[in-house]
Amino acid sequence: MAEVVLFHHAQGLTAGVRAFADDLRAAGHVVHTPDLYEGRTFGTLDEGVAHAGEIGFGTVLARGRAAVEELPGRLVHAGFSLGVMPAQLLAQTRPGAAGAVLMHAAVPLGEFAETWPDGVPVQFHTMAADEEGDVDVARGLAGAIEGAELFVYPGDRHLFTDRSLPDHDPVAAAQVTERVLAFLARLG
């Protein structure tokens, strides 16, 4: 089975993020859920983004790097929205990455490294009309990365995989879970 580090979104390490990690664990995967906000969660996306801005996005990335220091190199780096930043950074720059799962967001190539590393598979999951997300960036990345998988779900919700939030879409979230589990099974 795969070993995964799963980074939370801007609202923090919510019950929904923990539940997603538990779903992966129930399938036999080892899942680490570092808390980039040191125990804080936020009731709205705007509040969480404001907090990330206050502590600095550089701090978010540094905490993501620190979270994996003692973990094996062969990790699947996964993230929800804001958590895509450290997940993508590590997938692109940390030697031995097993793969990446980027949900609700994507960062353009060149932000962390000019290219995607050879042999590191990646999945993208986003909603088609998500104004908060980066569906166009995800499309561009998927087109530039050999073998990348892009899944675009109908709708306009942002954090649709987090069952503890109002944006949750149970049908789309179930598809994400199924596709992520299939991806991890191929890597494990």
Q: Does 133 score more than 80 pLDDT?
A: no
| Nearby residues of 103 by Cβ (< 8 Å), 6 or more positions away | 78, 79, 80, 81, 84, 124, 125, 126, 161, 176
Domain boundaries, the chain: 3-187
- Mean pLDDT value of segment 36-63: 96
Is the pLDDT at 188 greater than 80, yes or no? no
**pLDDT at residue 78, rounded to an integer:** 98
Determine the Cα–Cα distance for residues 124 and 143; give it in Å rounded to an integer: 11
Q: In the predicted model, what is the mean pLDDT of residues 155-174? A: 97
- CA-nearest of 79, 97, 101 to 178 is 101
| Closest among 98, 94, 104, 106 to 143, alpha carbons compared | 106
Mean pLDDT score of the chain: 96
Q: What is the mean pLDDT of the segment spanning 116-141?
A: 94
Q: What is the model's pLDDT at position 134?
A: 87
SS3 call for 176: helix
Q: Report the top-level CATH class of 3-187.
A: alpha beta
- Taking 80 as the threshold, does the pLDDT of residue 124 lie above it? yes
184, 1 contact by CB (below 8 A): yes
Residues 6+ apart with CB under 8 A from 59: none
